[in-house]
Amino acid sequence: MSKLRVVSFGLGPIGVRAAQLAHARRNLELVGAIDVDPAKAGKDLGDLFQPATKTGITIEADIGALDRLRPDVVVHCTSSFMPVVEQQVLDICRRGIDIVSSTEELLVPDLQHPSIAASIDQAAKAGGATVLGTGVNPGFAMDFMAVVASAVTYSVQHVRCVRVVDAGTRRLPLQQKVGAGMTTDEFEAKRATGRFGHIGMRESVALVARALGFEIDRNEQSLEPVLATEERKTPFLTVSKGAVAGIRNIGRGSLGSRVLIELDLSMYVGAPDPRDEVHLRGDPDVDLIFQGGIAGDSATAAILINSIAQVAAASPGLKTVLDVAPPRSTAV
């Protein structure tokens, strides 16, 4: 079987790790890398790897490089928000190139941005491309894993997922995203923007509801700061006692007064007992616990790479993780 040609678009910590995994995967051929950061353009992609290694792939700044590189699939890691990535995604799929994206709002693209979703779907079908948003959270730990677990339950009445993450073990952008080190006033100002904290909680609720056939009339979330009870240091920053250590983010899907879906995320520096839990109340009940939790950064890069072959095999259009074959690891 011929290798799938891959270009990495967006070289933040997740994008770089995904590129490194793609470069090592024998069923893939990493043929290019794109990032708008002028400090990265012109460098060998392998200079960003850990450990650094020469790849012979020069980082480019212009999306037009895709015309020369002619990839089958783009691994896209640039932003969490559909309005930000809309033009990038359109430019790629109009070229007939499949996309696996870490954009959180693409998990259930029509939930918050139906017009953008329709535009992308139309362009993808016209260009013969498949577009998928995936990841670990959202995309697996608090949504797709519950859907998979339901396979051994005849009926499900209630879903509860718990995710506890020590943000001190994660990349700097995530620590900043959950407000580590901020004052409470700074946290409140950021929260008011609606683009702060974990992105994708409502998408996770919607995915579970759609997959299990739950009728819900409310999809709600709350976001609160977790304050440090003592000083905490990470490799990137210091959280003073009393400062914001991170977040508690809860999502609920309800029908009337009945809560059908509860998703409980704690992500803060120093969080004890990291873990992922999936609990289904049904016939029979299902209880899954990932001790130590799913390693978010490396796992996100892995699920992007492990979804490439499935996306390449799918029919054109804008898809969700419910529409394509489940990702799986293959021999390197």
Each residue's pLDDT tens digit, 118-157: 999 999 999 999 999 999 999 999 999 999 999 999 999 9
Average pLDDT value for the chain: 96
Q: Is residue 295 very low, low, confident or very high in pLDDT (cuts 50, 70, 90)?
A: confident
Q: Looking at residue 81, what is its pLDDT?
A: 96
Q: Residue 279's beta-bridge partner residues?
A: 160, 287
Predicted structure pTM score? 0.95
Q: Which CA distances in Å does 254 have to 111, 139, 145, 155, 220?
A: 16, 21, 20, 17, 8
CB 219 within 8 A of CB 205: yes
Ranking 48-57, 63-72, 165-174, 199-208 by mean pLDDT, the lowest is 165-174
Q: What is the pLDDT of residue 138?
A: 97
215 — pLDDT class (breaks 50, 70, 90): very high
Residues contacting residue 56 through CB under 8 Å, at least 6 positions apart = 44
Does residue 173 carry a pLDDT above 90?
no
* 52-105 per-position pLDDT tens digit: 999 999 999 999 999 999 999 999 999 999 999 999 999 999 999 999 999 999
Token representation of residue 191: 């929260």
Please give the share of the chain, as a percent, with pLDDT higher than 90.
Answer: 94
- Please report which helix (H) or strand (E) contains residue 4, including its range: strand 4-9
Query: Are the C-beta atoms of residues 247 and 175 closer than 8 Å to each other?
Result: no
pLDDT confidence tier of residue 2, bands split at 50, 70 and 90 = confident
* 47-66: pLDDT as tens digits: 999 999 999 999 999 999 99
Q: pLDDT grade, residue 258 (50/70/90)?
A: very high
Q: What is the structure's pLDDT at 331?
A: 66
